[in-house]
Amino acid sequence: MYLINIALKPNNDDEQTAAKRFALHREWFAKYFDNGTFLLLGPYLDRDHSGVIIAQAKNKAELEKVIAEDVYYPLGTASYEISEFKPVMIANNIADYLEK
């Protein structure tokens, strides 16, 4: 499994362009959430313009291909920090923590 930290870099996009790109970013993570690659995701509450994704993939190269599809990736306007980890404990009631 992988932990992905994403942070948008400051840029000079006008409000309309920024909104359009963010909508495409949301479509990207919805696509990979729906197909089971992204298991848990959301914005950081203590960091502006950044979030975290817990993902699963065959290997890091496969995950890097997924990340390359994000609208921000080819523009260089986001950083993606990927860490591989092995979960050894998973709470049965993890869904109870949504929206808390």
- 93 assigned to some structural domain: no
User: Alpha helix locations (H) across the chain?
Assistant: 15-34, 60-67
Q: For 25-80, how does the pLDDT look when each residue is reduced to its tens digit (9 = 90+)?
A: 999 999 999 999 999 999 999 999 999 999 999 999 999 999 999 999 999 999 99
Least confident of 2-6, 81-85, 87-91: 87-91
Would you say residue 32 lies in a domain?
A: yes
Q: How many CB atoms lie within 10 A of CB 52?
A: 15
The model's confidence at residue 94, banded by pLDDT at 50, 70 and 90, is confident
Q: Is residue 14 part of a domain?
A: yes
pLDDT at 38: 97
CATH number, residue 9: 3.30.70.1060
Per-residue model confidence (pLDDT) at position 12: 85
Q: What is the pTM of this model?
A: 0.89
Query: Has residue 61 been placed in a domain?
Result: yes
Inside any domain, residue 98:
no
For residue 16, tell me if it sits in a domain: yes
Task: Judge whether 69 lies within some domain.
Answer: yes
Range of the domain at 57: 2-87
Under the banding of pLDDT at 50, 70 and 90, the label for residue 100 is low
- Report the chain's terminal Cα–Cα distance, integer Å: 24
Beta bridge partners of 83: 3
Instruction: Tell me how far apart the alpha carbons of residues 97 and 18 are, in angstroms, rounded to a whole number.
Output: 30
Domain count within the chain: 1
For residue 99, being part of any structural domain is answered with: no
